[in-house]
Structure 1
Amino acid sequence: MEKSIRSHSWNDMPAAQSLPVLQHPAKALLFIVPIREISEQPIFTSKAHVFQIDPTTKRNWLPSGKYPLTVSYFYDGSRNSYRIISVDGAKVVVNSTVTPNMTFSKTSQKFGQWADSRANTVFGLGFPSELQLSKFAEKFEEVKEAARLARDRSQETTESCSTHSQESSHEAPTSPQASSVNGTNDEKGDGPSTIESLLRSNNHRINPVKKWEQELRTLAESNARLGAALQDSAGTADHWRSRLEHCKEEGERLREKIVELEAQSVDVGKEREQNSRLSQTVRLLEEQISEKEQELERLRAEVQVIPGLLEQCEGLQHQLQSAESTNAELESKSKTMKCNVEESHRKHGNLVKELNTFLTILDGKIDELHGFRQGLAKLGMNK
């Protein structure tokens, strides 16, 4: 907002509208227009955020409401004038009469402003779209042109009335001569009728004079009011002159600032390259963050499985403990069986030794029996 108001030229503000009128006192009739009982009619309506310039700093915008307000052009048929009006509830936030000297400036794609010297302020409107701003600006130009034409027609009418008033005021009523009133001997017979006709003619001449005298008194009162308005306008003009000097100083300061910024523009390329590198770094970091977030989601999904795994681990731990106890029992049984096997092996060795001894003895006995059999066989053969 501050950028938009700085772009406005305070030299474009219109001067007081009553100054030219005092050059011709007859033009005061412009300000003595009877107020008719005709209500104003809206001819164009739009929605916009309404702002007014800060009267202290003349730089910052002060919003007139929190929400967009209805801003309308009104035409007053009785005064042949146009006004821009906006109301927030029961509060009138804009009441600006459009004059031919006003200028509506587009300071951005959706923001426009105009200065009202009578209200001693600058109004600003922020529209939702560029199209609405363009329509409002076009209507402003149409209304301004219509106000100019109305002013020209009114001035022509006033000047013609003033010329006629001055010509009539210079005419002096002619009084009847004594001879006409008293009459001669020949005219005394027609005396009463002649006097009545003279009186009627005098009355016809006196009535316009009274009317113009009343108009002159009205003009004198209007001139007095215009003198007061001139004093106010002079004070306003001094105020705007001081504001103009201040704005010129501000303009010089801004020009110096522009020179400084142009001198600093050499580093803009480096800053842009650095910004591009930073943008690439930011994109890489955003991709890494996205990957980390996906990994985090995966870990969260795995964390949800951990309680079931812990329960399974506890069951396996119980099974392991029971298996360990069973293993200890089996080891003790294995040791016992190993001892039994060793004992069996030892006994088996003893039995093998005994068996060998028995077999040796048996072989000896068999040999003896074989020898005994052979001896018996021999005995039988001898017989």
Structure 2
Amino acid sequence: MTFTKTSQKFGQWSDIRANTVYGLGFSSESELNKFIEKFQEVKEATRATNNKAPNGNASTTPVTSANASPITSRASGGALSDAGPLLDPPSMQPSCTSPAPASSAADDVSSHLRGGSSAAPSESPKHEPFGQMKLDAKSPAPGPTSTSEQQLRHDNERLKIALASSSANAKKWEVELSTLKNNNLRLTSALQESTANVDEWKRQLHSYKEENQRLKSKYIELEAAKGGTEAAVELRKELATLRLRVETLEVELKSKDDELKRAMNSKQPSEERCKALQQENAELQASISLAQAQLDTAMAAQESQKRVMDTLNSQLLLRIQELAAIHREVATALQT
């Protein structure tokens, strides 16, 4: 029998004769190391006990590791002697007993660990010959080897309990491992979904930032266009001045016409006076025409500026509404 450490908390118990391999699990590496040390001690003690017995002599019927069990071992031991030893002193062995293999005690240890084997024992006390049972009953009390055999039985019981506990722990750990794997899969899928959502939110935030930057630039342009409003105010002032000047010129023209009429009515017209008045009248007419043209130009410019301002005002209102909608979307995205 051999025991191999496969990992920090697991090992394999192999029995070549029975062609069996057991997997053992422990709660910690220290317990596994203690088990290995105890296993080596039991193995060495078994080997030493087998070496003390002469080859070909044994007090018990050989029991193979394939059908051995703690029950058959105890039954055989109880039938052969009152103290229950597995091996009798070499000097008192009857010659009619069958030979036992050197590894029968080691097979007994493995049979204890396999505990619960359904195979029936190869032999039992009721199957033994009457003469052999009588000779065994007359054999003397067990020698010093009985102490080591009792220790081996005690160790076998402890190993059996440890094997049952490790098997139960292995099943529990398998269930826990399966649960942890399922939780890991769910957490991995949730993490991947969260990562995808974060990437999508980052893209949306980047697009919102670009749109916000574009709207800021447009807002700056509109702020710069407010200078056109000031120019419109200046044009209005200039238009009012031109209107006032036109009215003044019209009053002067009217006064000149009146003066001309009075001069003509007074019959004191003179050619020079008439020419001067005509020239002055022509100048006044030219001034009026120029003022009217300037007034028309200013009116057209004002109308054009008004249309531009209306367009800019509409665009500004639209952009402000878009900014408000984007602000609400960004706030909603950040809250979710």
TM norm structure 1: 0.28
TM norm structure 2: 0.31
